[in-house]
Amino acid sequence: MLPPLYVLQYSHTAAAAAAGESIFESETEETEEETDAPVLITEEKEEEAEEEEEEEQEEEEEEEEEEEEEKEEEEDVLSAVERRKEM
């Protein structure tokens, strides 16, 4: 008796041959369809990762700008205090 996998493969081949299709074309079409889905998923994940990185960079830049503004304000206050002391 033949193993079940071989029987399934043979029946698929026989059905394709009876329908007048090339065995290799049907397998190629299935392969192309199978490979398209993972590529799309990978591209979506890459796009999401890039968007997240951009958002993180924007947040970091905003934080740095806020820190710089705070430092400038502190320096302005200190210089104003020093001027008053000199008077």
Q: What is the mean pLDDT of residues 5-26?
A: 58
Q: What percent of the chain has pLDDT over 70?
A: 53
pLDDT digits (tens, 9 = 90+) for 36-61: 556 667 788 888 999 999 999 999 99
Give the structural domain span for 15: 4-86
Q: Identify which has the larger pLDDT, 17 or 68.
A: 68
Average model confidence (pLDDT) for the chain?
75
Q: For the chain, what is the total number of helices (H) and then of strands (E)?
A: 2, 0
Kindly list the distances between the CA atom of residue 29 and the CA atoms of 25, 49, 81, in Å, as whole numbers in the listed order: 6, 31, 78
Terminal CA-to-CA distance of the chain, rounded, Å? Answer: 108
Tell me the HSE value of 28 on the side-chain side, using a 13 A CA sphere.
5
Q: How many domains would you assign to the chain?
A: 1
